[in-house]
Chain A
Amino acid sequence: MEVGLRKTPILSFLFLGILLLLLCFRGVFSVALNVSNVDPVIIVRPEIFKFYSQSPLYVRGASLTITTAGGITSVTVTIYNDGSRRDAVVYVYIYDDAGNLIGRGSGEIRNIPRRGTRTVSIGLTPQPQYSTAYRIEVDVTGAQ
């Protein structure tokens, strides 16, 4: 190594030149993220609601009942019936962002009129914290 450098001192100056070029133009090759510009912006993780319907029954809405301590105790679901009068079974599943099931419940709605809506409140077991809930799924099927 020492012998090689002694024989070709130009290499060390070339190396220095490349180093200086890198120092001068590093901004061209890098992306600067100014933390002071980012800090005031609060980005909240997305919340996902998924509705699974089977015609003529449609899930039209879901609303969480959240305690002051942040726990989700129940989900109120609105179902629309586009067919003749019938009963329905509603299932609710709540998942965290890793895909783990952290709360579930089910309920039955009787005599949903033709082209009418009904709501049902479904208690959850266990009752997850809102801060851990990532995806809320509601599934409706006709009762047997």
Chain B
Amino acid sequence: MRMMKPAALMLFLAMLVLAGDVLSSLVSIDRIDALGGSGLINVGRGYVIVQGVGLYYGDSQASWLFNNVRLTMYVSDPSIAGTYEVTVVVDNGGTIYTVTQNVTLTTSPSTYTFSLPTNIAQAGEVSITVYARRLD
């Protein structure tokens, strides 16, 4: 019986440590999901709006080639205006191009040009995915 007490105490301590680790893991996973999940990220005070996307060859849209993508963007609330790192991923018929640059977003729509490294012949299916991350 005298040996049972320290063993039980150690078992209790071990369970506490393990429970703490499990709980902290759960909290961490929730946190990562909330930031990186595919659903709407609740920024609390508003969101970045990608109003428009255009494919351009130089300054013209009258071509089946393109070498830059123009995004018209703004924020829905002045409290989240600021500098954002915007990444544009262009999937042109399975060939992926990625461009990242910092832009300053306000509540007024502005158009930003993202230059691509080469002239691209537009494929039948083009996907433009826009990611934004606030920097300040």
- Where the two chains meet, the residues of A that have a C-beta atom closer than 8 Å to any C-beta of B are 1-2, 5-6, 9, 12, 15-16, 19, 22-23, 26, 30-31, 33, 35, 38, 40-56, 58-64, 66, 70, 76, 78, 80, 82, 97, 115-117, 130-132, 134
Asked if residues B43 and A44 are in contact (CB atoms below 8 Å), the reply is yes
Main secondary structure of the interface of B (DSSP, over half): mixed
Q: Are B64 and A58 in contact (CB under 8 A)?
A: yes
CB proximity of B45 to chain A, nearest CB, Å: 9
What total count of A-B pairs have CB within 8 Å? 148
> Once the chains bind, are A97 and B39 in contact (CB under 8 Å)?
yes
Q: Which residues of A contact B49 (CB under 8 A)?
A: 66, 130
Chain B: residues with Cβ within 8 Å of the partner, total of: 56
Contact of B126 among A1, A42, A43, A50 (CB under 8 A): A50
Is the CB–CB distance between B51 and A6 below 8 Å? no
A-B residue pairs in contact (CB < 8 Å), sample of 19: A12-B3, A15-B7, A22-B17, A30-B21, A41-B134, A42-B41, A42-B43, A44-B41, A44-B133, A47-B129, A49-B129, A50-B127, A55-B64, A58-B64, A61-B54, A62-B54, A63-B51, A80-B61, A97-B40
The smallest C-beta distance from B55 to any residue of chain A, in angstroms, reads 5
Q: Residue on B with the closest CB to A72?
A: B51
B108 at the interface (CB under 8 A from A): no
In the bound complex, CA of A115 to CA of B38 (Å): 39
In this complex, what residue of B is CB-closest to A139? B125
Verify B28–A31 contact, CB threshold 8 A. Answer: yes
Q: Which of B43, B76, B126 contacts A51 (CB 8 A)?
A: B126
